[in-house]
Amino acid sequence: MRNPKKLFAKLAKKKQDSRLDACVNNMCDDANLTAVFRNVEEIRLENRPTPSNLKSDQVLIRMNSVGICGTEIHLLTHGTFANFEVTSPLALGHEGAGVVVKIGTEVSNLSIGDKVAIEPVIPCRKCRHCKSGNYNLCQVSIAYVYAS
């Protein structure tokens, strides 16, 4: 098995498109630069379309940073995580921080310009894992992920 840190470093150094290079350096405003898992040991930086039509209870966040966690590492090295096998391209990064740039009409607890951190998993808060503080092990949790 290859070293995941080296694989991510290789991705960061790979020049795929001069437009993406500019976006990596924060020189374009319309970018939605995304690390996309394609296959075991293969991820690509892609400029994906920015979601334009939000539901009334959703917000759009301009991400400033996104972490890479054990899920992505396991996915990159094995092609699976938990009981989920990836069979199509998957946008990586589900733990991050950014700024709210658009809000749905029913959103009342956030405003444009608010700085936020995201964790798209909602645990049940009732099982033994949740009650012991290990919500990441909750078998009933719901993960909210936007994929385009």
Question: Is 148 within the bounds of a domain?
Answer: no
> What is the rounded distance in angstroms from the CA atom of residue 30 to the CA atom of residue 50?
8
| Residue 130: domain span | 4-143
Q: How do residues 13-22 score in pLDDT, each as one tens digit?
A: 554 445 445 5
Give the per-residue pLDDT at 30: 58
In the predicted model, what is the mean pLDDT of residues 33-47? Answer: 84
How many domains, the chain? 1
> What is the rounded distance in angstroms from the CA atom of residue 56 to the CA atom of residue 70?
32
Q: How do residues 118-145 score in pLDDT, each as one tens digit?
A: 877 788 889 999 999 888 788 877 665 5
Instruction: Indicate which CATH number applies to the domain containing 61.
Output: 3.90.180.10
Look at residues 72, 99, 96 and name the one whose alpha carbon lies nearest to residue 86: 72
Reported as half-sphere exposure (CB side, CA atoms, 13 A), residue 147 has a value of 12
